Structures are given as C-alpha cells and as structure tokens.
Amino acid sequence: MLSSWEISEVHTHYRLRNFTIDLISDDLSANPTTRLCHFYPGSIGKYVTEVIACDDLLTAQKVRVTKKGHLDFSEVSIKALPACGGLQFTLNPGIRRLDTALRQLVVDSTTMCAIHCREEIDCDAFQTLTSATNVTCQLLVGKNGNTVTDNNWKYYHLAV
C-alpha cells in the first residue's frame, strides 16, 4: 500500500511542475491496472523536499511520474504501509503510545514487526523505534490508547 512519497528538487525549480503520479498494479497479466495516485498542480521550489500523499491507499508495484516537457528531479523516496497476510497497518509518524507493550522485540525491519503483530492474536497495533542497526518493536493491544508526540517513534494500527 503506497501512502506517500518524498521528492526533492535541487536543480532548476521551474522544471518539476504540474505532474501526475500514477500507480501501476502488481498484476502480472498483460494488462496491469493504472490508477491515479495524485496530481500535483504548481511547482516544487528549488532546494525543497515535498511529501506527497496519494489521494487514496492503493496497492501497486510500480510508480510512474508524468508531465509535459522535461522531467527532472534529484531524489525520490517511496514510503509504503507494512502489510502482512492481506492486513494493512496505518502509519502515524511521530506518535508513541504510552500503554504497556504486550511484548517488546528487537527486529531487523518494520515489516518484521508487522509480521510479529499479526502472529499475536491480541495485537492490534505496534510501534517502532529505529536505530542505525535495528528496530525496537513494541506490540500493543487495541487500536487506541494514550499517545504523546515523539518524533523518534512511529505508531501503526490496523487499518479499517
């Protein structure tokens, strides 16, 4: 599930404007489905990083950026929601739940944390703290709880 992407324009600011982001399905058939993620009206300024969210949550394997004329950008980062067993989690960056964790683990990635959550019958949410070498994963019960702003943590709950 693609939730957002980041784009940095560090060349000439007038080149990247009025562009469309399309997602192409992961269907391996001869006719994959293409869906509009977002149309960006206007331009991205020089030396600016812009976070662009899709208008809807969509499953895709490929991202296509199109516009009339020359397409030029320096850096693109795709961010997706972790999914496991057909269940998706909604990301709440910069949020930490204060509830006591059902279980705390050290894992290699956020995806592994999502997998552990799905393996626990009582787990409805999890939160991660990423370091240079690993991810601290806390499995949580329920989708709601007391939260605080903490830019080091990312809180995920089952999407409805």
Could you tell me if 75 and 10 lie in one domain? Answer: yes
> Higher pLDDT residue, 103 or 9?
103
Could you tell me if 76 and 88 lie in one domain? Answer: no
The pLDDT of residue 18 is above 50? yes
Q: Find out whether 96 and 148 touch, Cβ atoms under 8 Å.
A: yes
Instruction: Name which of 13, 9, 77, 67 is nearest 40 in CA terms.
Output: 67
Report how far residue 27's alpha carbon sits from residue 41's, in angstroms, rounded to the nearest whole number.
29
Q: Look at residue 12 in the predicted model and tell me its pLDDT.
A: 42
Q: Look at residue 1 in the predicted model and tell me its pLDDT.
A: 44
Could you tell me if 70 and 37 lie in one domain? Answer: yes
Q: Look at residue 53 in the predicted model and tell me its pLDDT.
A: 67
> Higher pLDDT residue, 119 or 30?
119
The boundaries of the domain holding residue 66 are 2-80
Could you tell me if 54 and 114 lie in one domain? Answer: no
Task: Report the number of distinct structural domains present in the chain.
Answer: 2
- Domain stops at, among 36, 61, 80: 80
Q: Specify the 3-state DSSP secondary structure of 28.
A: coil
Number of H helices, E strands in the chain: 1, 12
- The whole model's pTM is what? 0.49
The pLDDT of residue 6 is above 60? no
Could you tell me if 10 and 25 lie in one domain? Answer: yes
Q: Look at residue 150 in the predicted model and tell me its pLDDT.
A: 94
Could you tell me if 73 and 138 lie in one domain? Answer: no
Q: What is the pLDDT of residues 107-141, one digit of tens each?
A: 988 888 888 888 888 888 999 999 989 999 999 99
Joined tokens for residue 145: 């709880």
Tokens 């998706």 correspond to 88
Q: Look at residue 157 in the predicted model and tell me its pLDDT.
A: 87
- Domain stops at, among 80, 95, 120: 80
Q: What is the pLDDT of residues 51-101, one digit of tens each?
A: 676 766 566 777 888 887 777 666 666 666 555 445 577 888 899 999 999
The pLDDT of residue 151 is above 70? yes
Q: Look at residue 66 in the predicted model and tell me its pLDDT.
A: 83
